[in-house]
Amino acid sequence: MNILEYDYIKSVFNKKIFENSRKDLIEKLSKYPSRYIGLFRPTKPFTKIIQNITQSHEIKFGDAFEILIRLCFEESGYNSLNRTLKLKNGDTVNFDQLFSKDNSIVFIEQKLRDDHDSTKKRGQIENFEKKLNYLIEMGYDNIRSYIYFIDDSLNKNQKYYLEQIEKLRDFYNVHIELCYGNQLFEQENMLNLWEHEIIDFLRTWRNDLPDLPEINFDLTYTETFEEIKDLSPSVFRSLFDNDEIINIIFPIIFPERKTLYLLLGHFKDISESNSKNSTLYAKLHSKLENILK
């Protein structure tokens, strides 16, 4: 019997991965237009937009998995601890996972997959040691720590991590393990969680995913409007002043102009208010009105 409810985890994943995708794209179009419409690109704008959104989803997938792993531990009797802590030198350190159970501290440095280059693998170990050192300085003497990769099909840097972990074990005299996939749950005696909670969820959830992300933002224009309407005026100004964005990108993401008309009314309402930004929005209204003509 599953300890996590599918519909709840699905909502967590969908919100974390897909929410604000349209806002993120608009901001990137404003800041880096040449990435989408530049001549020195092997892809056309439509393909580049798809690529941008799918890459964003990949990154956020790892963030969603942090939540899923955390919920699995919490439902198994582990207590989540504050994951944002300050070092003595004033720096802030953020733990991926930090729990307490039975007078022990469980610290997990979690990443989606072990397929990164040499610079990142060294940074991973340095980051892990900094956090481990913090816990030791705080006086915790029963620490179980892990470098954990969710995807057990990739282990590019396994040899390097095992060598470095052995050095850390000898120096700090604490429990440190390198784990892939189910190995973390086996180490913590959380049997069946991997197959019956995580793998079962992923198989079902992935069946509901579309083959490609939808980039016609006018299909859900009220949702798109709500997502982007509060972006900085500078973002909209940059877009509206770029003829290539207007002529090439807008017909792709706003083909029916429904979202743009909602923005036009929004800009007008603010321009007619007594807000401190009314003048800026009056200019945005004028620019967008000319575009729509």
Q: Is residue 251 in some structural domain?
A: yes
Is the confidence at residue 89, as pLDDT, over 90? no
Q: Is residue 26 in some structural domain?
A: yes
Q: Is residue 97 in some structural domain?
A: yes
Q: Is residue 245 in some structural domain?
A: yes
Q: Is residue 182 in some structural domain?
A: no
pLDDT, tens digit, 9 for 90 and up, residues 92-109: 889 999 999 999 999 999
SS3 string, the chain, reads CCCCCHHHHHHHHHHHHHCCHHHHHHHHHHHCCHHHHCCCCCCCHHHHHHHHHHHHHHHHHHHHHHHHHHHHHHHCCCEECCCEEECCCCCEEECCEEEEECCEEEEEEEECCECCCHHHHHHHHHHHHHHHHHHHHCCCCCEEEEEEECCCCCECCHHHHHHHHHHHHHHHCCEEEEEECCHHHHHCCCCCHHHHHHHHHHHHHHHCCCCCCCCCHHHHHHHHHHHHCCCCHHHHHHHHCCHHHHHHHHHHHCCCCHHHHHHHHHHHHHHCCCCCCHHHHHHHHHHHHHHHC
In the chain, the percentage of residues whose pLDDT exceeds 90 is: 84
Q: Are 71 and 104 members of one domain?
A: no
Question: Residue 1's pLDDT is what?
Answer: 44
Q: Is residue 181 in some structural domain?
A: no
Q: Are 266 and 199 members of one domain?
A: no
pLDDT, tens digit, 9 for 90 and up, residues 187-241: 999 988 998 889 999 999 999 898 899 999 999 999 999 999 999 999 999 999 9
Residue 66 domain boundaries: 1-76+190-212
Q: Are 166 and 223 members of one domain?
A: no
Q: Is residue 184 in some structural domain?
A: no
Q: Are 129 and 206 members of one domain?
A: no
Q: Are 86 and 68 members of one domain?
A: no
Q: Is residue 155 in some structural domain?
A: no
Q: Are 170 and 98 members of one domain?
A: yes
Q: Are 54 and 90 members of one domain?
A: no
- Model confidence band, residue 246 (pLDDT cutoffs 50, 70, 90): very high
pLDDT, mean of residues 127-132: 94
The backbone torsions φ and ψ at residue 47, rounded to the nearest 5 degrees and listed phi first, read -65, -40
Q: Are 16 and 63 members of one domain?
A: yes
Which pair of tokens denotes residue 148?
Answer: 């954990």
pLDDT, mean of residues 169-181: 96
What average pLDDT does the structure give for the chain?
93
Q: Are 83 and 171 members of one domain?
A: yes
pLDDT, mean of residues 165-176: 96
Into how many domains does the chain fold? 3
Q: Are 196 and 167 members of one domain?
A: no
Is the confidence at residue 2, as pLDDT, over 70? no
Q: Are 113 and 33 members of one domain?
A: no
Q: Are 105 and 194 members of one domain?
A: no
